[in-house]
Amino acid sequence: MNKRSEFSGRLGFILAAAGSAVGLGNIWRFPYLAAKYGGGLFVLIYIFFIVTFGYAIMSSEIALGRMTRLSPVGAYQKIDKRFGFVGVIAVLVAALIVPYYSVIGGWIFKYLVTYASGGYLEAASDSFFVDFITAPAEPVLWQIAFVLISAFVVFKGVKNGIEKINRVLMPALIVISLAIAFYGLTLPGAMDGLAYYLIPDFSRFSVEGVLAALGQMFYSLSLAMGIMITYGSYLSKEDNIDRSVRHIEIFDSGVAMLAGFMIIPAVFAFSGGSREALGAGPGLMFITLPKVFAAMDFSSLVGLGFFLMVLFAAVTSAISLLEVVVSTLCDRFGISRTKSVLWTTVFVIIMGMPSSLGNGIWSHITILDLPILDFFDFVTNAVLMPLGALFMSIMLGHFVPEEEMEKEMGLVKKGKKIFYRIMIKYVAPIFIVVILLSSVLSTFG
């Protein structure tokens, strides 16, 4: 049996995990949620969840991976035979997310190339986005390009592929975001947006906002998808998990905040302070922002930088999902990495096509009343992920011996151990049930 690959050190691991965590959620959801639910107030609630519940789950997942040196299915089985299915759910979530995530990755790619060839006016025109995504062939080709790039990185391996690319892309992402954010803040009217984003507004406090913070935290940290278990299985025994998790969380929340600085003041400046202009999701990124960029002095440059940065965020997340599937195939079936990457790539490309076609020629096909892409998003994020997370927290909190877990995580102080136990045993399962109920209700409510 081959020796398991390892990250070259703590920094490589932190950047790879941060690369997974920093994704579309940070860029197109966090700023919107923060602005909607009370600005600084939402940020505070979000950070509270990050350092309590998020911290406990992320540390346990990484510890579980390193303890067992296996990808999710094997890792769970090794702890308790009956829990192998939790690993299966995690891998299934990853395998079902990458295909449609890659469809969106393809759109980002298309925009990047449009800006690179000077097409900032075209990108800002009213029908550009809809015409593009409803076409049958073109979005599929961009999706395939996105998958091939991500798969190539995974093919190169943990140290020479995943770690290497994150070491370059993550710092680059920060530099580009800072540049765009600073430029955005110099625009006339930007300060009103900044105030709207940051000043805590207690009148906008709502239970809905608290739930949104909880769900966002969970998704943003890439929890319950087997990612942290898999990356943890490549972490050297010498590295301290507790400290690494703190750094990953600071990185992830920092980029989410930075995305708000990039987006909210600029949208405000462009729309003359209209709050309605600030949406979330594809509408914000592919329709509103290109219009905002077109109104700026350096349209091409800002658009190019922005989509480059988003592409970096999306590729590094897609890689982490692919790695879960690839390493599971290698571990479970003993096939080579090359074969495993090949099969995974074929699967992801084929599975992604319906999600892409569902925007155009297959738009009449809906499942549970949802378009195909939204259906996969719903099944994975609103149902399977919280469900898997619930079993995961029960297992981590009640079936893995605590001392072993705390030792693996590097917890020494008594207070920290008690805090961790309360979080993982009691708080995590309760919060997860709340996420599960609220996400199902909000989709069909």
Pick from 361, 357, 358, 385: nearest CA to 369: 358
- CB of residue 172 vs ligand PHE: minimum separation in angstroms? 17
105 and 312 Cβ atoms separated by less than 8 Å = no
Q: How far is the CB of 411 from ligand PHE (least distance, A)?
A: 25
E strand segments, 20-132: none
The Cα 98–Cα 76 span in angstroms is 22
Neighbours of 81 (CB within 10 A): 8
Minimum CB–partner distance for residue 373 and ligand PHE (Å): 14
- Counting other chains too, the contacts that 3-9 makes at CB distance below 8 Å and 24 or more residues apart are 4/69, 4/233, 4/234, 5/157, 5/158, 5/159, 5/234, 6/158, 6/159, 6/234, 6/235, 6/236, 7/158, 7/159, 7/163, 7/231, 7/234, 7/235, 7/236, 8/159, 8/163, 9/236, 9/239
**CB nearer ligand PHE, residue 320 or residue 355:** 320
- Residue 393 CB, shortest distance to ligand PHE, in Å, is 18
Q: Which is nearer to ligand PHE, 381 or 438 (CB)?
A: 381
Rounded-to-integer distance, Cα 71 and Cα 88, Å: 10
Q: Smallest gap, in angstroms, from Cβ of residue 318 to ligand PHE?
A: 7
By Cβ distance, which residue is nearest to ligand PHE?
A: 23
Phi/psi-derived region of residue 171, left when phi > 0, alpha when psi is between -120 and 50, beta in every other case: alpha
Measured from the CB atom, is 23 or 209 closer to ligand PHE?
23
Q: Which residues bind ligand PHE (CB under 6 A)?
A: 20-21, 23-26, 97, 219-220, 222, 225, 317, 320-321
Tell how far CA 277 is from the center of its chain: 24
Residue among 28 and 183 whose Cβ is closer to ligand PHE = 28
Select 317 or 356, whichever has its Cβ closest to ligand PHE: 317
Identity of the residue, 124 or 170, whose beta carbon is nearer to ligand PHE in the bound complex: 170
Smallest gap from Cβ 189 to ligand PHE, in A, equals 29
When the beta carbons of 124 and 325 are compared against ligand PHE, the nearer one is: 325
Q: CB 98 → ligand PHE: shortest distance, Å?
A: 8
What is the phi/psi pair of residue 258, to 5°? -60, -35
